[in-house]
Amino acid sequence: MEDTWARNQGNREMRISKELCSALVIDIQERLFQVMDGREEFLSRCLILIEGLKVLEVPLLITEQYPRGLGTTVTPIRQALGPVSYMEKIAFSCCDEPSYRSALEKLARKKVIICGIEAHVCVLQTVVDLLEREYEPVVVADCITSRRPRDKDVALERMRAAGALITTSESILFELTRVAGTEQFKSISRLVK
């Protein structure tokens, strides 16, 4: 496993800076959300992450998997996001959706902070495809979930082995903030408490 990890790390920088990041919110939709494991804690952490990313001015891209069948993004997430565009998809991987690939390319940021559902389907496939396209996925472990905890656990193991960076919402927000004493730091501190 160490050989796989080392091979996928290449010469990339391990420090995550907000100027090099975009974020991706994957399919947090009504019918999917209702059957997710630990959905209330997951939602709470996602809201903190989204609010924090907005404070830090990290661009957010949002997908919805077949919204006619699975519903739209849940109301609390919609409210946190504010007026944004949603990219509809039918492929599991966001990278198979031309509108997402185009938006990602326009941002020209190599690190992609990821939250959403389901960990072992759309999140996993997107992470693998981002790695193949030489992006650096940053998976926020407390902001992904699946119907069954074991599916999430195995997906995290596979994503880590493939070369994705795994973190938590509080960790990534403070890493992007970098220093204490700023207005951004104060806003992030209020969010995570």
Which tens digit of pLDDT belongs to each residue from 85-114?
A: 999 999 999 999 999 999 999 999 999 999
Provide the mean pLDDT of the chain: 93
- H/E element, 71: none
Higher-confidence position of 107 and 4: 107
pTM of the model: 0.92
Question: Counting Cβ atoms within 10 Å, is residue 15 exposed (0-12), middle (13-18) or buried (19+)?
Answer: exposed
Q: For residue 175, is pLDDT > 50?
A: yes
pLDDT tens per residue across span 135-165: 999 999 999 999 999 999 999 999 999 999 9
pLDDT tens per residue across span 30-45: 999 999 999 999 999 9
Q: Where are the domains of the chain?
A: 2-192
Cβ-based neighbour number of residue 130 at 10 Å: 25
Q: For residue 83, is pLDDT > 60?
A: yes
Nearest-angstrom CA–CA distance, 110 and 130: 9
Nearest-angstrom CA–CA distance, 3 and 8: 9
Q: Is the peptide bond before 118 cis (omega within 30 degrees of 0)?
A: yes
Looking at the DSSP bridge assignments, the partners of residue 192 are none
Q: Are strands 21-26 and 60-65 parallel, antiparallel or unpaired?
A: parallel
Fold of 2-192: Rossmann fold (3.40.50)
